[in-house]
Amino acid sequence: MASVFTHPIVPVALAIALGRRRVSLPLVAVGMAASVLPDLDVVGLRLRIPYSSDFGHRGFTHSLVFAAAVALVATAGAAWWHASRAATFMFVFLSCASHGLLDMLTTAGRGVEYFWPFSTHRYFLPVRVIESSSLSITRFFQVTGGRVLHSELLWVWVPCLAAAFIARAIRKGNAL
């Protein structure tokens, strides 16, 4: 899986690209939370739910249906996020759905049930360049964290932020 530090970069980049008039700071915070929410499925490992189960790690919580459900729930708070219901839905949906895509780019695991419940096949993308983060916090900070963060900076942070600032510059250029 990509690390908890990297999943939120997608909503941050989207917010930079779209601008504060379209995406408020409270909505960015909701998007950041939605981007890490799918990994709550690790609780299932403690409950002895098999990794390969639909309810195991990278199962239904990493799907587009789950992302849509999270976005739908978030629309109830659209007024609090200072956004329209449509903007809230799309922003939160993209934030949550990005989690599965990033995990499909990782070098380990058993794939992502991205199209659950329509398919229980677990997918990876053809290119798997993100060093997979450990599920153990101790192992992450003592052994693998540096390698993981290096690959995430290279393959997620830099491209996302570069695209965001390019989109922002284009948007501002068109506003003149």
Distance CA 132, CA 106 (A): 5
Does the pLDDT at position 176 exceed 60?
no
**pLDDT tens, 11-25?**
999 999 999 999 999
Q: What is the pLDDT of residues 106-163, one digit of tens each?
A: 999 899 999 999 999 999 999 999 998 877 777 777 777 888 899 999 999 999 999 9
pLDDT in tens, 69-91: 999 999 999 999 999 999 999 99
Neighbours of 174 (CB within 10 A): 7
Angle CA 67–56–71, to nearest 5: 10
CA distance 8 to 98: 9
Question: Which two tokens mark 117?
Answer: 């419940």
Paired residues of 130 in beta bridges: 106
Per-residue pLDDT at 139: 73
Q: Check residue 145 and give its pLDDT.
A: 80
pLDDT, tens digit, 9 for 90 and up, residues 52-68: 899 999 999 999 999 99
Residue 112 — φ and ψ, nearest 5°? -125, 130
